[in-house]
Amino acid sequence: MTERTLAACLLLACLQLGGCASLRTLDAAQADAPIIYSGTRLDWYSLNDGCCPLQRFGALPPRYAALDLPASLLLDTLLLPLAIAAELGVTLNIRGGR
């Protein structure tokens, strides 16, 4: 197995283990929840025994937060420009389909 294939398999395994924290926080509809690096912050909060992630982030952390942390960090970094725009209140008016 090449290194690239192994890395892809590990990333896929992390995403499948219990749900990616980044995707969970993006789907959370809580007004005051953090947006920038939200999945990474949720994982870190969970690893440091945070008391109430549902109230703070609007989502529960994945079961294996330590395994999810690298994948969430990568996804949050890729989504950083959109997160900054959302934090600043910039609307992109993106629509799918027709």
Q: What is the pLDDT of residues 4-30, one digit of tens each?
A: 887 777 766 655 555 678 777 876 767
The token duo for 78 is 């890729």
Residue 60 lies in a domain: yes
Burial class (CB in 10 A: 0-12, 13-18, 19+), 48: exposed
Q: Into how many domains does the chain fold?
A: 1
Residue 95 lies in a domain: no
Residue 97 lies in a domain: no
Residue 59 lies in a domain: yes
Query: Whole domain around residue 34: which residue ranges?
Result: 3-88
Residue ranges of the chain with pLDDT lower than 50?
Answer: none
DSSP code of 61?
A: P
Residue 10 lies in a domain: yes
